[in-house]
Amino acid sequence: MKVYYGWIIVAAGALLGCVAIGAVFSLAVFLQPMAAATGWSRTGVSSAMTIVFLVMGVASFGWGALTDRFGPRIVVLSGGLLLGLGLWLASRAQSLLEFQLVYGILVGGAAGAVFIPTISTITGWFEKHRSLAVSLVSAGMGVAPMTVSPFASWLITNYDWRTAQFTIAIVAWVLLVPAAFLVRRPPEAPDERERVAVAPGVMMGAADPAMTAGQALRSPQFWVLSITYFCCCATHSGPIFHTVSYAIACGLPMMAAVTIYSVEGLAGLGGRILFGLAGDRFGAKRVLVIGLFAQALGAGAYFFVRQLGEFYAVAAVFGLIYGGIMPLYAVIAREYFPMRIMGTILGASTVFSSLGMALGPAVGGWIYDTTGSYGWLYIGSFGIGLGAMAIALLFPPFPSQRPVAQPA
């Protein structure tokens, strides 16, 4: 039986996401050892991650436009090469400013070249199982805390942080470059009249094929999507990045603290599949709104935990939710906008999401350095999470929305 090539790209995309995002977020594992070895403040090291997200947002817009024009393969390949280069140069940095600029600009720019082209490409390969396919690609990111983070922790335990980061750079090159050659443009989209429903009562939209990128970027659909994306990422970025350091501050050993991050990742893997199936069954917008409310509760729950078992419980719930809702933005975008501008649209929306992600690392580090505690980080995340849910309720109906015929 011949395997549909779209599923091969899903597998390649999952690997790309695991390695790229795992390498980027490994800085959370490096944070405490780097601060201790160099004397750099946590705020300073965390700010490198803030620069990553800012650069990734701007770069994603450019990478997305290049994907629409030249196809995803060359863009993803460039991102893989750039990521390894950025990690290698960062491992050799002799000052905090040098580290911030190298890690922030090169690693951040590379991450945008891997994530957006892969996700936008997948939305064009699938119609019936789009939510599931996008979620499976995103699941690769959920695997990262269970693979790259423990690997980084082991390296730091046995070697110095510079050797550890250089090793991750080599691994990134070895895995990302071959995987990039498996990525290719999606086939021409089927006529919208041939769209089929995945479940009774699910409403399927039909993006206007004549819509230009300029019209899309000025539309209310794009702005509601992007602002929701911003608040969603601002909600979970701080808890994701600082949980390892928070657990260490509560008296847990480093390896135990890293396992909390791994629990989040494992739960996020299940969440991506669960929310992907739910999005296909009940509609991505409805599932997103419910998930945003649950995410706010999960972020706020960290305020109350101190013991390892408590960390595991909250991490499992929080990881399940934030991991599950993230792929839904691409699914919703594909319902509003045509495939030929998806790279541009997802790249532009990623500018907003990256701004949200940029808040957590720097603000969390500042809160800890100022107060000696992460308490206000989790309280603030809870409030922003409620705001994300409120904004998501403003999503307009899908274009030409209608119930579609069920298969016989």
Mean pLDDT of 148-171: 87
The pLDDT score that the predictor gives to residue 1 is 59
Banded model confidence at residue 401, pLDDT cuts 50, 70, 90: very low
370 contacts: CB under 8 Å, gap ≥ 6: none
Instruction: Give all domains of the chain, ordered by start, each with its CATH number.
Output: 5-187+208-396 (1.20.1250.20)
The pLDDT score that the predictor gives to residue 327 is 81
Cα distance between residue 156 and residue 8, in whole Å: 34
Contact between 276 and 327 (Cβ < 8 Å):
yes
3-state secondary structure of 203: strand
The pLDDT score that the predictor gives to residue 310 is 92
Cα distance between residue 133 and residue 101, in whole Å: 35
Banded model confidence at residue 399, pLDDT cuts 50, 70, 90: low
51 contacts: CB under 8 Å, gap ≥ 6: 100, 101, 103, 104, 105, 108, 358
Contact between 3 and 129 (Cβ < 8 Å):
no
Look at residue 157 and tell me whether its pLDDT is greater than 60.
Answer: yes
Banded model confidence at residue 405, pLDDT cuts 50, 70, 90: very low
- Using one digit for the tens of pLDDT, what is the confidence trace for 42-73? 778 878 887 887 888 788 888 888 888 888 88
- Using one digit for the tens of pLDDT, what is the confidence trace for 333-352? 888 888 778 888 888 888 88
- Using one digit for the tens of pLDDT, what is the confidence trace for 215-261? 888 899 999 999 999 999 999 988 988 888 899 889 888 778 878 87
- Tokens at residue 200, please? 């009774």
Select from 32, 384, 402, 403 the least CA-distant residue to 238: 384
- Dmax (CA) for the chain in angstroms is 67
Banded model confidence at residue 365, pLDDT cuts 50, 70, 90: confident
The pLDDT score that the predictor gives to residue 45 is 85
The pLDDT score that the predictor gives to residue 207 is 59
The pLDDT score that the predictor gives to residue 408 is 40
Cα distance between residue 245 and residue 224, in whole Å: 33
224 contacts: CB under 8 Å, gap ≥ 6: 391, 392, 394, 395, 396
Based on the number of CB atoms within 10 Å of its own CB, is 173 exposed (0-12), middle (13-18) or buried (19 or more)? middle
The 10 Å Cβ neighbour count of residue 135 is 32
Mean pLDDT of 84-110: 90
Look at residue 266 and tell me whether its pLDDT is greater than 60.
Answer: yes
342 contacts: CB under 8 Å, gap ≥ 6: 64, 68, 120, 123, 124, 333, 334
- Using one digit for the tens of pLDDT, what is the confidence trace for 300-319? 999 999 999 999 999 999 98
The pLDDT score that the predictor gives to residue 276 is 80
Mean pLDDT of 33-49: 82
Look at residue 142 and tell me whether its pLDDT is greater than 80.
Answer: no
3-state secondary structure of 189: coil
Count of CA atoms in the C-beta half-sphere (13 A) of 368: 25
Cα distance between residue 408 and residue 406, in whole Å: 6
Cα distance between residue 366 and residue 163, in whole Å: 28
The pLDDT score that the predictor gives to residue 404 is 43
Banded model confidence at residue 402, pLDDT cuts 50, 70, 90: very low
Cα distance between residue 233 and residue 224, in whole Å: 14
Cα distance between residue 393 and residue 390, in whole Å: 5
Looking at per-residue confidence, does 276 or 182 come out higher? 182
Lowest mean pLDDT among 47-56, 124-133, 271-280: 124-133
The pLDDT score that the predictor gives to residue 191 is 42
The pLDDT score that the predictor gives to residue 62 is 84
pTM comes to 0.69
The pLDDT score that the predictor gives to residue 376 is 93
**Percent of the chain with pLDDT strictly greater than 90:** 24
Banded model confidence at residue 400, pLDDT cuts 50, 70, 90: low
Contact between 335 and 398 (Cβ < 8 Å):
yes
Average pLDDT across the chain, whole number: 83
- Using one digit for the tens of pLDDT, what is the confidence trace for 368-394? 888 888 999 999 999 999 999 999 999
Mean pLDDT of 151-171: 88
- Using one digit for the tens of pLDDT, what is the confidence trace for 175-213? 999 999 988 888 765 444 334 343 443 333 455 677 788
